[in-house]
């Protein structure tokens, strides 16, 4: 998922792990953090639903330019997510990261085949 967001938005700084606060976001850059915060198996044990978070952060705060930059960034990330198969976003919430940066936290789910059981059967 992080790779696809990066491919679609090469100017963004994209990481695939959680961070408490992005370090020194350069002016005009967007930071995107993608990470899994849980997963569960369906009743038939054939699919896993991964709960993920995507944090979209800009380097500005409290200005019209910051609002415009954040809106454009979250729109670009949402377009990437919408194009992904079996990925379903649930909500996007405004937040402030480390009392310094404007951000959106997007909650989503990705449904994938149950790989753990199949690996046990073939091992």
The one-digit pLDDT tens for each residue of the chain (123 residues) are 999 999 999 999 999 988 766 667 888 889 999 999 999 988 888 889 999 999 999 988 888 988 999 999 999 999 999 999 999 999 999 998 888 888 999 999 999 888 777 665 554
pLDDT at 55: 96
Using only C-alpha atoms, the chain has a radius of gyration, in whole angstroms, of 16
Domains of the chain with CATH codes: 2-122 (3.30.2000.10)
CB 90, CB 109: distance < 8 Å: yes
pLDDT at 20: 67
CB 121, CB 45: distance < 8 Å: no
């Amino acid at each position: 998922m992080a790779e696809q967001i990066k491919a679609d938005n090469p100017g963004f700084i994209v990481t695939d792990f959680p961070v408490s606060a992005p370090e020194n976001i350069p002016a005009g850059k967007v930071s995107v953090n993608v990470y899994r915060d849980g997963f569960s198996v369906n009743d038939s044990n054939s699919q896993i639903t991964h709960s993920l978070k995507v944090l979209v952060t800009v380097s500005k705060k409290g200005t019209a330019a910051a609002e415009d930059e954040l809106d454009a960034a979250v729109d670009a990330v949402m377009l990437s997510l919408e194009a992904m198969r079996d990925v379903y976003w649930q909500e996007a919430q405004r937040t402030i990261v480390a009392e310094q940066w404007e951000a959106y936290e997007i909650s989503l789910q990705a449904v994938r085949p149950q790989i753990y059981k199949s690996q046990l059967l073939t091992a």
